[in-house]
A and B are shown apart, each in its own frame.
Chain A
Amino acid sequence: MIDPNAPVTILEYGDFECPYCAMAAPVLERIVVENPDAIRLIYRHFPVTTVHPLSLIAAEAAEAGGAQGKFWQMHNALFANQPRFESDSLRQLSRAIGLDIRRFDREMEAHVHLQEVKQDFRRGVQDGVNGTPTLLINRVRYDGPREYDAILSAIAAVAGAREL
């Protein structure tokens, strides 16, 4: 068990076009859902556009969802629909999760969220991203397997919690 008095932050740098990020997403979600008071997940954008040309626009779409209080819904929808991120597909996803489509269109067209995404990328460089996804557990990079048991053990070690 994770000690609820020693909350742990998982910081993820991810790319919506990266298949390994898509595989990690449900694992991380399960870990957080099962330990809502003890573990929190922060997602930051690290779009590697040379190999994933649509990852940047997808990151902007996630932030556009966030602006309407639906970041995680958009995050999940993007990974579930990877890699169909043409503009029409993104609009369909935003409709499906109930975003105000006019506002979504407006913000995407004006690239309102581009600077936030770029800021995340710069923080990722400083934080020592070495691939996607990069996970940091309480600011320490975790390079182990991105599987439920392995991540949970690493979290328990960091938190100093006793395992049952």
Chain B
Amino acid sequence: MAQTLQLNKPAPEFTLPDGNRTKVNLKDFRGKSVVLAFYPADWSPVCTNELAIIQETLEDIRGYNAEVLAISVDNVWSHKAWAQQQHISFPLLSDFWPHGEVARTYGVFRDEDGISNRALFFIDKSGNLRNTWIAENPAVAPGINIIFDALEVIQGAHQTGARRA
């Protein structure tokens, strides 16, 4: 469960395939911040939804030396088709099998309907979990400011560290 994940401790590692069936490892992103965005489902009936707005602001997010990894329990073929339709260029990772295993590890799997809750996990360049946002209602997406506010804090801490070094 999420409460067993501790802030400022290493975020759980995982390897999942993206929509091109390329294996993506969390640890490959050391040196960058990672925004881990769990979401319930591809093709969900929202107009311009959470991921579209992340895509629209992706260059600004990358300006914080950060990458976005989105995760749902959909299979790789669904991810590929949805990414094409929505023009999503960041990885959509498939937590399909073992079903929802990474979502369970992060404490956001929903046993009642077999999907992931909507949640954000912010991981710093050393791989430590720095902040989380977990939806009270999975139908309500996080404000995009939550991502920028969290990255601002992480980057500020990095800068402080750099000055000390």
A residues apposed to B, CB below 8 Å: 15, 18-21, 48-52, 124-132, 141, 143
Contacts and interface: CB of A to CB of B under 8 A. Distances in A.
A101 B148 CA distance: 40
Interface of B: 46-50, 52-53, 55-57, 60, 86-88, 137, 140-146, 148
Contacts of B144: 124-125, 128-130
Contacts of B56: 48-50
B47 A20 contact: yes
A51 B49 CA distance: 10
20 contacts: A15-B47, A20-B47, A48-B48, A48-B52, A50-B52, A50-B55, A50-B86, A50-B87, A125-B57, A125-B144, A128-B145, A129-B143, A129-B145, A130-B53, A130-B140, A130-B142, A130-B144, A131-B49, A131-B53, A132-B48
Contacts of A126: 145
B119 to A, nearest CB: 14
Q: Give the interface centre of A124, A128, A131 by most chain B CB atoms within 10 Å.
A: A131
Contacts of A18: 47-48
Contact of B143 (A21, A128, A132): A128
Contacts of A143: 137, 140
Given A50-B87, A51-B86, A143-B140, A125 B48 contact: no
B57 to A, nearest CB: 6
A49 B140 CA distance: 21
B69 to A, nearest CB: 18
B53 A129 contact: yes
A132 B47 contact: yes
A20 B142 CA distance: 18
B39 to A, nearest CB: 12
Contact of A127 (B48, B52, B87, B145): B145
Contacts of B57: 125
